[in-house]
Structure 1
Amino acid sequence: MTAPTLAIVDDDPDFSVFLTRVARRQGFVTHQFHSVSEATFWLSSNDADLTILDMALPDGTGLDVLDRIPADRHGQIVFVSGTSDAEQIRRAVASPATAFIGKPVGADTLEQLFRQVQQDLQVPEHGQQASDLGLVGECPAMHRVRQDILRVAPTGMNVLVLGETGTGKELVARAVHAHSGRTGKLVCVNCGAMPAELMASQLFGHERGAFTGAASRHAGVLEQAHGGTLFLDEIGEMPAALQVYLLRVLETGSVVRVGGSGEIPVDVRIVAATNRLRADGALRDDLFYRLGQYVIELPPLRARGNDVRLLAHRFVARLNDKYGGPPKRLDPAGIARLSSYPWPGNVRELMAATERAHVSASGPWVDINPRALAARAPDDGDSVRFRIGTPLQVVEEEMLRRTLAFHDGDKTATARTLGISVRTVHNHLARSRRHG
């Protein structure tokens, strides 16, 4: 690994020399700049792994440096400044910076910072950068997840991803496939969103005439993923009978289409995901052990500390690209609120809350208030009343209909609100259509 590069942008020569001395003891190559113009000239054509910025400079501010150079040039950003200007501090905290440290600062604090940067830059096993995995997060649990992915990806072992709904299990599957070296494609299937009566055909394929409506031969997703990876999300929603069939495919390396008799060889690596553990009875023991040759556990967002802020910054940046217009930034006044909220819907909920706040923001600051929707007083459209004696089936169907309407037809959100699986939503809707 080559020595990491530090760019120091500070007009205090004594402090710059102090920074340089501490950084070089930690193995950094350093470059000193004392103005916005000097720093932007060098950073426009050179890369730094870490940039330490002072806020007040002779010809501008540290924020001006960030505005004038490509985002991929400055690496990690840390403001080390003695400014007392509340608005400048607010803007610094809302920037992509990973930290704002007030002066004076001691050598111990700087050494800890430099060690953390070096750890983030280390090349994991198999020569892959952890930052290439598409997983945002700096908490220890997410570092372990990235290490697990890089360790297991080239092996061909089946992987079971455990985690609550909305934690990013599909992102893990995509990262495993991307670093596996397999030449086939990644095929993603949500077992909870697939009607039970169609699941066998979708997974294993069918022959022409196998059932009413089977007008032609169909290759199932196991065949479609030949040479690649099949991601089975919500594997716990797969009926027990099909779990037995899937276990046979894993043991024999071949699949028999519905209505057929010939065995078709398949070379497929399975990444399965569930938010229900084996103790819940969602998976057969034998299938659990076969799928769980390597288990990766994703932490809930509430346990990831400062990752909430990092993710919110990332989502705001993506939304700026998506919607265009003047760029917006995360309002630092609301950061404490993000950290104190439990995020039951995890990263998916944070993403939705960020987009709602971004669209609603009339100025440059995006203030994410996750409790706003939950705290809203219910109106007639948000509540349902039933008379005593209403048949349970009617209650269930009306609750499903009203909850679907509340979520604008989003079946995943409806399932989450009602505490049921997406497949149960599909089954209820299919039953209603048959009886309607």
Structure 2
Amino acid sequence: MSMSSSVNTSMSVLIVDDEPGMRSFLSKAMLKKFAFVETASTIAEAEQVRSQGHFDVLIVDIRLPDRSGIEWHEALDDTDRQSDIIFMTGYADMDVAIKALRAGASDFIMKPFHLEQMMSAVDRCIEKRLLKRENFMLKRELSHGQSSTIIGSSDAINEVKQVIERVAPTNAVVLIEGESGTGKELVARQLHQLSDRTGPFVPVNCGAIAPELLASELFGHVAGSFTGAKTSREGLFNFASGGTIFLDEIGEMPMNMQTALLRVLEQRAIRPVGSEKEVNIDVRVVAATNRLLVEEVEKGHFRRDLYYRLNVLNILIPPLRARPEDVVELTHHFTVQISKELGIKPVLWSHEDLQVLKQHEWPGNIRELKNMIERCILLGKPPAEYWKKTATTEAIENFGYPLDWTLKAVEKEHVTKVVDAHEGNKSAAARELGVSRKTLDRKYKEWLGQISDEQEES
């Protein structure tokens, strides 16, 4: 990874040295690398400064008036913040160097030193921090299991793709509007991928995070800022440095957070919860909503000034019922994808199945289609037969399962219905069913084995 000479807008450094001249010299040099630079002359003063905010890099002299830098256990043992530490010393003592490295130092520099030597050490620390953030986001992306391909070739979806291509190269805020399940996150991902931004794509569902924790999740917090905040933590805006943060379901955001977000958009800086200092950011904001924000503004549920600030560029995603010609392409895509995940051969649907799918209204849009395809594959029932079961399903809901069903059939039907109700979230379904996720996965493997046997027999 090559380092840029530009300022890292989300990075911060704390310099601890009892010599005023050294603090001034390093402070001026570090401003070329970091958006936020602080200094302290003792460990006690440094710890007080550190308690007010997160620092990515600590440059610490070993010999200090109150304590040795190697004895700064509050910073060295802080596994949550994990600042990279560069120790300095004017005494050529190999034992001290070894102790410093064993204590967790990222580097050890002898005084006097050339500025290039210090800057190289700092670059290595920055590179490591950025790599850590990228790995964090990669794991987050894998856990989401999201594709970034917009499927469909209808006029309606082609128009959306054209707007994305025009808007993506800019750094302007974008508001994506569309019904639930239409693929707003896919559009946001495409905007990011077609942009020149080199940082990660960070999706955040504003409606899925408790209102009292949203500020901490987005902006981070310092130790002691609220009950349970034993240590400081970076926010998702920090992890999105140089990239894009996607604020899904922005209409669910509490009013006090709307005020805070407006300030972030205007000042391009965030303030961690409990901190008195702001941190500059370089993050593109893309928001999405399944509500009509104009109506929410008129009702007094959404700030008018924030709406105008978000609605700089607007992308409206059509519902699936408005582009039935895309249903076949989406069905093929999800069939191949789900079959691959389940480890079986892709199912070939009949012409009747595809026609039935095209005629459905799809109130849940693409999400509903994907869940239904997964359900059909797991149950071994083609879509045409699935719709024929609607009356039977209603009877089951009202009067119970048919008497001629086996216990295994009842179990499979009930479990898949609960998973459906949770839009494919098996962890949530397992909690409602009162079983572990492991047990639920085992059940699916058993049913999958039965399906494979039936396919071989046929």
Flag whether TM exceeds 0.5 (same fold): yes
Per-residue deviation at 1:224?
1.5
Per-residue deviation at 1:410?
6.3
1:227 and 2:246 are equivalent in the alignment: no
**1-structure distance, mates of 2:364, 2:321:** 10
Unaligned segments of structure 2, at least 5 residues: 1-146, 401-413, 426-458
1:377 and 2:394 are equivalent in the alignment: yes
User: What is residue 317 of structure 1 aligned with on the other side?
Assistant: 336
User: What is residue 356 of structure 1 aligned with on the other side?
Assistant: 375
SS of the aligned residue for 1:199 comes to: helix
Q: 1:252 to 1:410 in 2, by over 3 A?
A: farther
Per-residue deviation at 1:154?
0.9
Per-residue deviation at 1:178?
0.8
User: What is residue 362 of structure 2 aligned with on the other side?
Assistant: 343
Per-residue deviation at 1:200?
1.3
Cα-Cα RMSD: 2.8
- Map Cα deviations across residues 20-43 of structure 1 (whole Å, 9 max, x no partner): xxxxxxxxxxxxxxxxxxxxxxxx
User: What is residue 93 of structure 1 aligned with on the other side?
Assistant: none
SS of the aligned residue for 2:168 comes to: helix
- Alignment partner for residue 251 of structure 1, among 236, 250, 266? 266
**2-structure distance, mates of 1:163, 1:287:** 19
- Alignment partner for residue 174 of structure 2, among 131, 143, 159? 159
**1-structure distance, mates of 2:391, 2:204:** 31
Q: How does 1:53-64 map onto structure 2 within 5 Å? A: none
Given residue 151 of structure 1, which amino acid in structure 2 is its aligned partner? R
1:290 and 2:309 are equivalent in the alignment: yes
User: What is residue 52 of structure 2 aligned with on the other side?
Assistant: none
- Map Cα deviations across residues 369-399 of structure 1 (whole Å, 9 max, x no partner): 357458612546899xxxxxxxxxxxxxxxx
SS of the aligned residue for 1:147 comes to: helix
Per-residue deviation at 1:186?
0.8
Per-residue deviation at 1:360?
2.5
- Alignment partner for residue 306 of structure 1, among 310, 325, 329? 325
User: What is residue 103 of structure 1 aligned with on the other side?
Assistant: none
Contact in 1 for aligned 2:371/2:420 (Cα 8 Å): no
**2-structure distance, mates of 1:336, 1:373:** 17
**2-structure distance, mates of 1:361, 1:312:** 16
Q: 1:346 to 1:371 in 2, by over 3 A?
A: farther
SS of the aligned residue for 1:377 comes to: helix
Q: How does 1:169-208 map onto structure 2 within 5 Å? A: 169-208=184-223
**2-structure distance, mates of 1:404, 1:326:** 23
**2-structure distance, mates of 1:304, 1:405:** 28
User: What is residue 418 of structure 2 aligned with on the other side?
Assistant: 407
User: What is residue 59 of structure 1 aligned with on the other side?
Assistant: none
**2-structure distance, mates of 1:249, 1:368:** 52
Given residue 376 of structure 1, which amino acid in structure 2 is its aligned partner? T
**2-structure distance, mates of 1:135, 1:409:** 23
Contact in 2 for aligned 1:330/1:367 (Cα 8 Å): no
Given residue 418 of structure 2, which amino acid in structure 1 is its aligned partner? H
User: What is residue 269 of structure 1 aligned with on the other side?
Assistant: 284
Q: 1:258 to 1:409 in 2, by over 3 A?
A: farther
Q: How does 1:78-157 map onto structure 2 within 5 Å? A: 134-157=149-172
Given residue 209 of structure 1, which amino acid in structure 2 is its aligned partner? G
Q: 1:289 to 1:372 in 2, by over 3 A?
A: farther
Per-residue deviation at 1:272?
0.6
Given residue 304 of structure 1, which amino acid in structure 2 is its aligned partner? R
Given residue 311 of structure 1, which amino acid in structure 2 is its aligned partner? L
Q: What's the % identity of the aligned pairs? A: 43
SS of the aligned residue for 1:154 comes to: coil
Contact in 2 for aligned 1:187/1:229 (Cα 8 Å): yes
Per-residue deviation at 1:289?
1.5
**1-structure distance, mates of 2:392, 2:295:** 32
User: What is residue 127 of structure 1 aligned with on the other side?
Assistant: none
SS of the aligned residue for 1:357 comes to: helix
- Figure out how many residues of one structure are paired with residues of the other and give that number: 262
Contact in 2 for aligned 1:223/1:266 (Cα 8 Å): yes
SS of the aligned residue for 1:270 comes to: strand
User: What is residue 241 of structure 1 aligned with on the other side?
Assistant: 256
SS of the aligned residue for 1:184 comes to: coil
Per-residue deviation at 1:212?
1.0
Unaligned segments of structure 1, at least 5 residues: 1-131, 384-402, 415-436
- Map Cα deviations across residues 205-261 of structure 1 (whole Å, 9 max, x no partner): 111100111011111111221111000110000001110110000000001111111
Given residue 335 of structure 2, which amino acid in structure 1 is its aligned partner? V
Per-residue deviation at 1:405?
11
User: What is residue 66 of structure 1 aligned with on the other side?
Assistant: none
Per-residue deviation at 1:297?
0.7
Contact in 1 for aligned 2:251/2:289 (Cα 8 Å): yes
**1-structure distance, mates of 2:399, 2:188:** 36
User: What is residue 124 of structure 1 aligned with on the other side?
Assistant: none
